[in-house]
Amino acid sequence: MTIRRVRYVAALALAATLAAGCQRRTTTVILVRHAEREPITPATPDPPLTPAGQARAQALVQVANRAGLSAMFVTEFQRTQQTAQPVATALGITPTVVNVGGNASQHAHALAQTILGSHLGQAVLIVGHSDTVPLVIEALGLTPGPAIGANDFDRVFVVVKTESGSTRLISARYSP
């Protein structure tokens, strides 16, 4: 993606956050799937990002840079942690590791409860997986969650949830 498109996605995230700031206690959740990774094999069940994935992780900084993040959440897998690391470094935020533990649905609900409890009225970033991101979106009140294909690494979702219960979803794509 061109720099222009990265800026467009960053502008969407910023606009959602600013619009949310106009209302009392609005929560903004930016969700992405981890970036491109090496293949999962029996010998490598937790593979690192590929060079393309590392470049995409750097592009995520432009998406999240002006969103006013107060927290970041990743899973126990290095691919989510490596995707979040450039944002964490740029913003000085330490990501919270939340274990999937083999149950994506329980993970999603627990994460949504944490965000709506401890981070109500704030902006947070979640780096998850193709199966957890849609479930977290559903747990935040939007059903059905979007389908994420096996090769979809470029999607970013912004959930804006107001104190009154209104929930909106913005979907875009980002790339280096």
DSSP for residue 176: -
For the chain, give the number of residues: 176
What lies within 8 Å, CB to CB, of 139 at 6+ separation is 108, 109, 111, 112, 113
Report pLDDT for 115.
96
Element of type H or E holding 29 = strand 27-33
Residue 20 or 126, more confident: 126
State percent of the chain over pLDDT 70: 86
For 3-173, CATH number out of 3.40.50.1240, 3.50.50.60, 3.30.230.10, 3.30.450.20 equals 3.40.50.1240
Q: Tell whether the model's pLDDT for residue 17 goes beyond 90.
A: no
Q: How confident is the model over 67-117, as pLDDT tens digits?
A: 999 999 999 999 999 999 999 999 999 999 999 988 999 999 999 999 999
State whether residue 26 is helix, strand or coil: coil
Q: What is the pTM of this model?
A: 0.87
**Token pair of 139, please?**
């747990």
